[in-house]
Amino acid sequence: MTTDIPVLRTGADLLAISPVIPVVVVDSVADAVPLARALARGGVPIMEITLRTEVGLAAIERVAAEVPETTVGAGTVTTPEQAAAARRAGAQFIVTPGATAGLLDAVLDTGLPLLAGASTLTEILRLREHGQQAVKFFPAEASGGTAYLSAVAGPLPDVRFCPTGGIGPANVAEYLALPNVGCVGGSWLTPGAAIGAGDWTAIERLAAAASMLGLPG
């Protein structure tokens, strides 16, 4: 299990923490800390807690305060107000599904590392103009998948990606094999049924398997 706490300066730093960034939907604040600890025990010391539920910010706050070995970020950030609230809650990075001018400015103003979503060359170029060398490719499968990422590596060799959306055990290896992919985002490490049952051992096992992805042999 990784024990060193990474120093995060840019979105690119996030790509080196784990082959998979778990995309987590939390329905109960009480689940946040044991979930984070199970992931970390399995070798995945990072998690993106989405703001798709009312308890997302509170869950981030709990993990940030109680699980220092985990790098916790806020996902599905869609408004400037959410970006500011995520920073106050203790989020260490921010993930957005897209990047309007106002949202991008607000996230950059927080000073937190960003993985902004993009699915077209124009969107990727706009993010690069704002200093973003790491991009969330979303929705990955619906936007062309590995074929698209292979194609954009030619004109944009300096941009690396965290593809998210439609990725799971059946196709994750194909994404991680691409030289311009640093990690992927996925929800299969934290299935709702396991969280609801408090089956942290099952989540630890899924994390342990994910932590080995992309390793030689």
Q: What is the pLDDT of residues 20-77, one digit of tens each?
A: 999 999 999 999 999 999 999 999 999 999 999 999 999 999 999 999 999 999 999 9
The crossing angle, in degrees rounded to 10, of helices 56-66 and 32-41 is 50
Q: What is the pLDDT of residues 111-163, one digit of tens each?
A: 999 999 999 999 999 999 999 999 999 999 999 999 999 999 999 999 999 99
Determine the Cα–Cα distance for residues 14 and 35; give it in Å rounded to an integer: 20
Determine the Cα–Cα distance for residues 103 and 124; give it in Å rounded to an integer: 15
- Cα dist from 89 to 49, 62, 110, 136, 189, whole Å: 12, 9, 12, 22, 24
The catalytic residues are 48, 136
**What domains sit in the chain, N to C, each tagged with a CATH number?**
11-206 (3.20.20.70)
CB 22 within 8 A of CB 190: yes
* Tokens at 180, concatenated: 């311009």
State which H helix or E strand residue 2 sits in.
none
